[in-house]
Amino acid sequence: MNPQLEALFDEPEKRYLRPEELNALSQYVSSLPERINLYRRLRSEEITLMQQVADTLQQQMAGEPEDLLKRSLKNGLLALRYVAMAMLTDDVDFVKKRMESWLPGIVEAYGTRAIDERLHQLIYEQLSGRFTPQQMALLSPSLVTARNLLAPQEIGTEADLTSETLVGLF
């Protein structure tokens, strides 16, 4: 569950919830039916959604080894399931907590960055075609987190960062 919401229940013996805390809880509770419906749809449409993604990915990346495509698809499926749970629990950090310890290393070790970037685009396109903008707004924060873990962006080295900082000082 969202850590801020979870914290609301930590010490009921000390005090009642403040108005802003009640508002946060109320907003989550009122969004729960939509979240549950979206989660159910994701669950029921997962196979067709991912099959369309797999077919398109295989066509567009026909030169890539099949084992790498399968590995990326499997990781993409796991990411989609984590995104669904993060949306349901309103916990944007859920995806990162579950995947950051292993996924970036796998992407790096197998050299699947290009495959994974395209895979994420295809998953996003499939989701956008199936769900309303409001539903996509519920999914987007976790999708962005998953995308960043599937295909981390290049960051400058410490020397690059230091040089840029020093140049800016003079």
For residue 161, pLDDT beyond 70: no
In a domain, 170, yes or no: no
In a domain, 161, yes or no: no
CA nearest neighbour of 58 among 44, 43, 72: 72
In a domain, 72, yes or no: yes
In a domain, 145, yes or no: yes
Q: What is the pLDDT of residues 93-117, one digit of tens each?
A: 999 999 999 999 999 999 999 999 9
| Structural domain harbouring 74 | 3-152
- CATH number for the domain harbouring residue 49: 1.10.490.20
In a domain, 33, yes or no: yes
CB contact at 8 A, 83 and 50: no
Q: For the chain, how many structural domains are there in total?
A: 1
pTM: 0.83
d(CA 156, CA 130): 37
Percent of the chain with pLDDT over 70: 88
In the structure, what pLDDT confidence band is assigned to residue 151 with cuts at 50, 70 and 90? Answer: low
Percent of the chain with pLDDT over 90: 76
CB contact at 8 A, 62 and 115: no
In a domain, 124, yes or no: yes
For residue 28, pLDDT beyond 80: yes
Q: What is the pLDDT of residues 47-94, one digit of tens each?
A: 999 999 999 999 999 999 999 999 999 999 999 999 999 999 999 899
d(CA 163, CA 157): 10
